[in-house]
Structure 1
Amino acid sequence: MSKTSSRTGTPILLKNLLLLEPSFGETRGGYEILIEGEKIREVSDTPIQSASADLVDCAGKVVMPGLIDSHVHSMHSEVFTRRLEEVPLTLASARGAKRLKDMLDRGFTTVRDAGGTDWGMKQAVEQGLIPGPRLFIAGRSIGPTGGHSDGRSRTNPGYPCLCCNGQAFLRLIVDGEDAVRKAVREQMRQGTDHIKIMVSGGVASPYDPLMSEQFSDAEISAAVEEADAFGRYVAAHAYSASAITRAVTLGVRTIEHGNLIDEAAAALMAEKGAYVVANLVAYVAMKERAADYGMLPEMLEKNEMVIEGGYRSLEICKAAGVKVGYGSDLLGALAEDQSREFSIRAEIQPTIDVIRAATTIGAEIVRRPGQLGTIAPGAWADLIVVDGDPLADVTLLEGQGRHLSAIMKGGAFYKNRLGKGA
């Protein structure tokens, strides 16, 4: 096996493969794929002629788009995030780099960070300094005092200095319309692709009730207006149907989690073309192991409130026509379960729907349809080669990448067990 991010400039012709293109809805044989530079040049069910290309024999394995996780936190290297107050910035950055590498090892060639990763880490990946997926970043998530972004203890009456430890990357606490506008502008100045705000209570925050609603209408509208003016969009952490309805009515584009959505809120989302990013694996993993890493009992109690709702939310969204992206939202050591979302969702959804959530729908969420999440001419050459058909056994996409013979990002093999051959 080789791992490399080098690119020679020589075209690559993939032969002897089964193609899992999400738009097909099935795996098809007889295809070849020509890659030139960072993009796919040609996809054909007849032989492709290219005298200059390096031939890669895929040995009858399945080629599919690289995976997209639409809700990660690469800088959240502790399950109980208050522990990051003891983590220096240098160590936090090193941990974040390792988490990104692990994601790429699992076949995730694109991830959307929902709070924590900054422009510097994105540049490190783009410049080839560290291996990792394509990054679409939110910078620091924005929330009000006492809300899901506020991780202080009850005995801390002030705002701690977050500039010198691992918490620095994670969140902003702001109150009032003007403060929200400034915070959003600052995140966009720092190179974010989208804005993350908190509009309801959360599981991994100790004191806010899960059903609480956070930020006023004016504050939410301010965030949306500023993001729109800059050509960006707002993603909102929201669980309850009322919080979802309020956020979407005010112009929020994506709802993160959405476990307690109801039919009326889903109908509104469908009307507005808004997306849900679900992450059932986070609740399962927290139930199983989060207490071992210091998560507080009151957090775990809230986790119990949303687990079953997560499954129901997928059914409600499908009935309403709401597109649901693939998310993981795993903190600290739980991140090793990132790919487990596939088998969890496949318990109640057709496997092709789960794969589309992690490919074509993910591409829409990051506003790159036709460029990501597909094997098609003109798309970026981000793909994985699987040792079997994930439509028959979705667990082939799990196992920390051990079932992946190759991972390609931007036309360069990051992992390649295939070698060359006619």
Structure 2
Amino acid sequence: MQFANRRISADLSRRGFVTGLAASMLSLVLPGLSNAQTTQPPAPPAKPVLFTNFRLFDGKSSTLRDGLYMVVEGDSISQLGRGQPASSDGKTLIDCNGKVMMPGMIDMHWHALLAAVPVQVILQSDIAFVHLAASAEAERTLLRGFTTIRDAGGPSFALKQAIDSGMISGPRIYPSGAMITTTGGHGDFRALSEMPRTSSQVTQMERDGGFAIADTEDEIRLRVREQFIQGATQIKLVGSGGVSTPRSPLDMLTFTEKQLRAAVETAADWGTYVLSHAYTPEAVQRSVTAGVQCIEHGHLMDDKTAALMAKNGTWLSTQPFVNEDDVGPLAPQSREKFLEVIAGTDRAFKLARKHGIKVAFGTDLIFSQTVAAGQGRMLTHMKRWYSGAEALTMATGTNGQLLALSGHRNPYPRKLGVLEEGAYADLLLVDGNPLENLDLIANPEQNLRIVMKDGKFYKNTLKA
């Protein structure tokens, strides 16, 4: 026992040294990027919290409700009633001064480890270095009002564990694990010197969980199961080419329909679903036909494709990319592809409205802390196609419905994205009416007076 204790202590000491060294490197390589969380995660309130004098957007209704009170006990909402509570004894009373209370927002396409770090740094750094940067960005994500994210590819399992255990501050994470692609597909970031691939050759990025290559049905089932072993709540497949991978054109197809179906069947065996990265009509149609329940992106789809998605009840998780400010620096070939995506954004949203497709809101902001800071600004782009109430409902209650598709793999059994009795106490207090002025969400530092997640105050500028 003493020998084991000495070995563990020595190992922790070495890890502490490596962590400190990585943090110092981070400040040198990325000047201006905060390399640590600013505060300790908050403790749960000592007493139940009673909120009064607020206007409620509950994540479902298109209008605000007045004359309510809310009691938060533990991690959830225990009471939501009209009028005045019978008693405030034994509770912390917070007068919201007529401000608008709404659910914490949900980003359905976020990459927790990729959001704030340049791709060159990610490709050249130890994975521990990337996790340090992700920790700092997790706190910023939460303080922007996004209390939950669905991670659409990347090794975010340790980050999720650290957040859930109260070690650091950050949003709830629904992890997909490594995005599963084919040789040469989007996400295959291998150098040419790492080819040809053999069964015994696995690159460091694959070992770190950044992506997983599968070229047969059996390999796909294996890679899917590997993500579930680590704690994935759903699976991310790559059905077409992508913007950020230099050698994968947008129009390329990756998996066959049978291969896609192998992943869908394996995910169903685990009680959850598959999301597929797909831009073109051919890629989207192949994924939908194979039983994929959520399409990511879909910017280049046509009318026939939209009709098929609506008929099958397939979700569209897309991003309102409208200009080059919505992305970080790109290589020339990637920039050309991104301009093609921007050109298709308007048509994709109009087709979704025309056919009544279930649409989820996500941002997919990667490789730049400056761009990641515009997470709320991306929601304001939705004004081109939706009212403020519709956009906020999409980013809260509607996204919560999509998260629930993870079924047996759902790590958070209470409702998310809504404010009602029994739901998680994830809420924001907004200085102004975001249903009428969606731009308030773009400036969270000024306009979010309270950020609560799990019944804990991560930001509170009001006096109890």
TM-score of the superposed pair, with normalisation by structure 1:
0.93
Corresponding residue of 1:192: 232
3-state secondary structure, aligned to 1:235: strand
* 2:119 equivalent among 53, 78, 81: 81
Residue 120 (1) aligns with residue 164 (2): no
Aligned to 2:361: 326
Distance 1:258 1:94 in 2: 32
Specify whether residues 289 and 303 from structure 1 end up closer, same or farther in structure 2 by C-alpha distance, changes over 3 A only: closer
Aligned to 2:49: 12
Identify if the C-alpha distance between structure 1 residues 29 and 288 changes in structure 2 by more than 3 Å, giving closer, same or farther. Answer: closer
Flag the 1:12–1:289 CA change in 2: closer, same or farther, 3 A: closer
The alignment status of 1:336 with 2:376, answered yes or no, reads no
Provide the rounded CA distance (Å) in 1 between the counterparts of 2:108 and 2:191.
30
Match of 1:63 in 2: 101
Aligned partner of 2:144 among 90, 95, 106: 106
Is the Cα contact below 8 Å between 2:194 and 2:203 reproduced in 1?
no
AA matched with 1:284: N
Q: Cα 1:3–1:47, aligned 2, differ >3 Å: closer, same or farther?
A: farther
Instruction: Give the match for residue 397 of structure 1.
Output: 441
**2:350 corresponds to 1:315:** yes
Structure 2 residue aligned with 1:262: 302
Aligned to 1:181: 221
Identity value in percent? 34
- Please say which structure displays the higher CA radius of gyration: 2
Structure 1 residues 80, 90: closer, same or farther in 2, change over 3 A?
closer
Asked if 1:238 is matched to 2:238, the reply is no
1:352-367 equivalences under 5 Å are 352-367=389-404
Pick which of 10-19 and 359-368 moved more: 359-368
Report if the CA contact (8 A) 1:70-1:111 is conserved: yes
**Counterpart code for 1:374:** V
Q: CA deviation at 1:45?
A: 2.4
Count the aligned residue pairs.
Answer: 413
1:230 Cα deviation after fit: 0.5
Deviation at 1:271, TM superposition (A): 2.3
SS at match of 2:415: coil
Matches within 5 A, 1:163-178: 163=204, 168-178=208-218
- Asked if 1:373 is matched to 2:417, the reply is yes
Q: How far did residue 266 of structure 1 move?
A: 1.8
Distance of 1:161 and 1:87 partners within structure 2:
17
Contact 1:78/1:84 (<8 A) preserved: no
**Larger RCO of the pair (alpha carbons < 8 Å, separation 6+):** 1
Inter-partner Cα distance in structure 1 for 2:51 and 2:253: 51
In 1: Cα distance, 2:339 partner to 2:457 partner: 42
What runs of 5+ residues in structure 1 fail to find an aligned partner?
Answer: none
Indicate which of 311, 318, 323 corresponds to 1:284: 323
Which TM-score applies when normalising by structure 2?
0.84
Mean Cα displacement is larger for which, 188-197 or 152-161? Answer: 152-161
CA contact (8 A) 1:79 1:290 kept: no
Partner of 2:385: 348
Residue pair 2:116, 2:134 contacting (<8 A) in 1 also: no
Q: Is the 8 Å Cα contact of residues 117 and 169 (structure 1) preserved in structure 2?
A: yes
Could you tell me how far 1:124 is from its partner in structure 2?
0.5
Residue by residue over 1:398-420, the C-alpha shift from the partner in whole angstroms, topping out at 9 and shown as x without a partner, is 12433100001111111111121
Q: Secondary structure at the match of 2:328?
A: helix
How big is the shift at 1:9?
4.9
Of stretches 26-35 and 377-386 in structure 1, the one that deviates more from structure 2 is 26-35
- Tell me the distance in 1 between the aligned counterparts of 2:177 and 2:361: 20
| Cα separation, 2, equivalents of 1:276 and 1:48 | 41
CA displacement 1:320-356 (0-9 Å, x = unmatched): 1111111111112121121111211112321111111
Q: Which amino acid aligns with 1:76?
A: L
Q: Give the 3-state SS of the residue equivalent to 1:248 in structure 2.
A: helix
| Deviation at residue 67 of structure 1 after TM alignment | 0.3
Pairwise CA distance, 1:153: 4.0
Picking from 432, 435, 443, the partner of 1:388 is 432
Seen in structure 2, the aligned counterparts of structure 1 residues 169 and 81 have a Cα distance that, compared at 3 Å, is farther
Residue by residue, what CA displacement relative to the aligned partner does 1:353-394 show, whole Å, maximum 9, x if unpaired?
111111011101110797111111111110000010001211
Compared CA separation, residues 65 and 78, structure 1 to 2 (3 A) = closer
